[in-house]
Amino acid sequence: METLLLGRKDVRALLTIDECIAGVEQAFKLRALGKAQAPGVLGVHAHDGGFHIKAGILTLGRAYFVTKTNANFPDNMKRHGLPTIQGVVVVSDAQNGALLALLDSIEITIIRTGAATAVAAKYLSNPEAKTVTICGCGNQGRISLKALLAVRTIERVFAYDQDEAIAQRFSETLGHELNVDIEAVADFKAALAKSDICITCTPSKKPFISRNDIRPGTFIAAVGSDNDNKQELEAGLLAGNKVIADSIDQASKIGELHHALDDGVMKIGDVYAELGEIIAGLKPGRISKDEIIIFDSTGTALQDVAAAAVVYEKAIERSLGARLNFAD
């Protein structure tokens, strides 16, 4: 049997943000309704970065088993001229084990992560939210804003990055492309005081947003903490507000929740819900305009399955990609 091979450009051409949002939303819902197994994750630290393997299985018309091996080295571009994220997604038929496809993981990871932020914002942010602060203006910050615009009518964006030149480029290029007012800022705390939504997508290992920085009613998507040594939010911010995780088990090990548990300011039972429970209607989401809600987004394998399935099926339909028979 031939295996489909798709590079980064192929994935980018095939996976739209709207399709990915719909797929990720469905994946979360299926998990909450008990129609999908819990995804698995394995992380290994390395010098200046790390690796993780995520695996999940979903029935989406047909049964897919997807594994993703990712390397994440935040300083890669500066030191080696390489992307921060590198890896491969393996797509298999979950009914017979056939190897269906190998996909570059960069776009899959970036787009499905942005899609999860959009789904969470759809259910957890105030419907009239108009202003957002993006902390971290790399590829993930870009797709996060694009995805957010698919679910909320955003009128003003504050862009913050430790590298002010990157924030400025973000403002200039995306402001024109998306036709939205984007202002690069040096003082992100002043921006947060004016924002309805905050998205953090940095490689920070030290918390930089505290309870006092966030105004009532804010929705926070904490995206950057995808291993146990990363942290963007002070633990006290989680402890005093409503926390919703993509996966409670995973967030308790590698997410913002992990630090709140270690600091003793939260218990597992303090987590309000998983996002899928909100989507499935098993629990209400936002119940007041003033509550601060935090989405602990660690990135699950079910998101990878949903995104990879879209890419694979469209590639087959359009006869795209190279083919290789590993048995030869």
All structural domains of the chain with their residue ranges: 3-109+302-324, 113-299
**Predicted confidence (pLDDT) per residue in 252-274, tens digit:** 999 999 999 999 999 999 999 99
> Average pLDDT in the 38-64 region?
92
**Predicted confidence (pLDDT) per residue in 118-128, tens digit:** 999 999 999 99
Q: How far apart, in whole angstroms, are the C-alpha atoms of residue 99 and residue 127?
A: 43
Torsion, CA 245, CA 250, CA 254, CA 258, rounded to 10: 60
Q: In 3D, which of 219, 221, 196, 199 has the Cα closest to residue 128?
A: 196
3-state secondary structure of 44: strand
Q: In what order do the strands lie in the sheet with 40-46?
A: 40-46, 49-60, 62-72, 85-93, 99-104, 3-6, 322-324
Q: How far apart, in whole angstroms, are the C-alpha atoms of residue 148 and residue 155?
A: 12
pLDDT for residue 144 is more than 90:
yes
pLDDT for residue 244 is more than 80:
yes
**Predicted confidence (pLDDT) per residue in 57-105, tens digit:** 999 989 999 999 999 898 888 888 898 889 999 999 999 999 999 999 9
Q: Is the dihedral of CA 124, 125, 126, 128 positive or negative?
A: negative
Residues of the chain with pLDDT > 90, as a percent, come to 90
Q: pLDDT band for position 20 (50/70/90)?
A: very high
Number of Cβ within 10 Å of residue 14's Cβ equals: 22
Cβ atoms of 3 and 328 closer than 8 Å? no
68 is catalytic: yes
Q: How many residues does the chain have?
A: 328
Confidence at residue 60, expressed as pLDDT on a 0 to 100 scale: 94
> Average pLDDT in the 146-168 region?
97
End-to-end C-alpha distance for the chain, whole angstroms? 10
Cα–Cα distance list, 308 to 2, 13, 24, 91, 322 (Å): 17, 13, 11, 7, 16
Cβ atoms of 232 and 140 closer than 8 Å? no
Q: How far apart, in whole angstroms, are the C-alpha atoms of residue 24 and residue 115?
A: 7
Torsion-angle region of residue 123: left (phi > 0), alpha (psi -120 to 50) or beta?
A: alpha
**Predicted confidence (pLDDT) per residue in 276-326, tens digit:** 999 999 999 999 999 999 999 999 999 999 999 999 999 999 999 999 998
Which CATH number describes the domain made up of 3-109+302-324?
A: 3.30.1780.10
> Average pLDDT in the 159-165 region?
97
- Kindly report the CATH class assigned to 113-299: alpha beta
Residue 267 CA to chain centroid, in angstroms? 24
pLDDT for residue 160 is more than 90:
yes
Q: In 3D, which of 208, 206, 210 has the Cα closest to residue 236?
A: 210
Confidence at residue 74, expressed as pLDDT on a 0 to 100 scale: 85
Catalytic pick among 29, 68, 122, 242:
68
Answer whether 3-109+302-324 and 113-299 agree in fold.
no
